[in-house]
Structure 1
Amino acid sequence: MSDALISTLPGVGPVTQAWLEEVGIRTVAELRMLGAVEAYRRLKFMLPRRVSLNALYALEAALRGCHWLHLPADVKSALQREGKAIDEAFRRGAAARCSLG
């Protein structure tokens, strides 16, 4: 399964597949190696307004072989914290780049 395409994972549709490919993630092995959080970070950087926390849930669920609604509450909470940290870092980075110093 390591060379399997991302599209073979449950819950990964053509839009998400295309986004992942744009950030260099083409196989299940690549996604597993990076993990859902890093993949989400890359997607969020590329498409900040289009990628939501649901994408993070979906990526984690796909790696676990389940639907995102079936992720345990503690996993969802951990993902929410990670997603919030990524969102805040992204906003701080954008603000820092735009300040006059």
Structure 2
Amino acid sequence: MSEKLRNIGPKSMAWLRQTGVRSLDDLKSVGSLAAFVRVKRAGFKPSLNLLYALEGAILDCHWQEIPDGRRSELILEADAAVALLPQPKGRRMPVAGPVTTTRNDDDYPSLPDADPFEPEESTSSGEE
């Protein structure tokens, strides 16, 4: 995208280039929603502001000037389209369970059983 598009910053332009949208004509032919979905599918994490910015670039207006009704439509359409995307591949870490501590009393026979919620009594009197 050698031309400067309204609302589109350098990071968004790089995402669009990497997904095959290189000009305003490309963006208009693909549409704001499809361009947004392409960016998501490529593994980037765009916010809804990108969707509004793309729509604003097509309409040649500031992204905050997109009417609320149109924003709502875009959100619904984007949610439906993103739900159809395959889950990202790769190694995911399993969800960790709660952390527990196990103490074998045979290993620590000299430790007294103490209530963990009771404050410990001070062994020093503070006087010397």
Which TM-score band applies after superposition, normalised by the shorter structure?
0.7 to 0.9
Q: Following TM superposition, by how much is the alpha carbon of 1:16 offset from its aligned partner in structure 2, in angstroms?
A: 0.7
Give the gaps of 5 or more residues in structure 2.
Answer: 89-128
How many pairs are equivalent?
88
Separation in 1, partners of 2:3, 2:55 = 14
Structure 1, residues 30-71: CA drift from partner, whole Å, max 9, x if none? 1100000110110011124x2121111110011111111110
- Say whether 1:29 aligns with 2:25: yes
- Determine the structure 2 residue equivalent to 1:14: 10
Say which structure is richer in helix.
Answer: 1
Check whether the contact 1:7–1:13 (CA below 8 A) recurs between aligned residues: no
Which consecutive residues of structure 1, in runs of 5 or more, have no partner in the other structure?
96-101
CA RMSD of aligned residues (A): 1.7
Q: Which residue of 2 aligns with 1:98?
A: none
The two structures have a TM-score, normalised by structure 2, of 0.63
Task: Give, as a single letter, the amino acid of the residue that structure 2 aligns with 1:38.
Answer: A
Give the alignment of 1:20-59 within 5 angstroms: 20-48=16-44, 50-59=45-54
Shift of 1:17: 0.6
* Structure with larger RCO (C-alpha < 8 A, sep 6+): 1
Residue matched to 2:87? 94
**Structure exhibiting the larger radius of gyration computed from Cα positions:** 2
TM-score when scaled to structure 1?
A: 0.78
Residue 62 of structure 2 corresponds to: 67
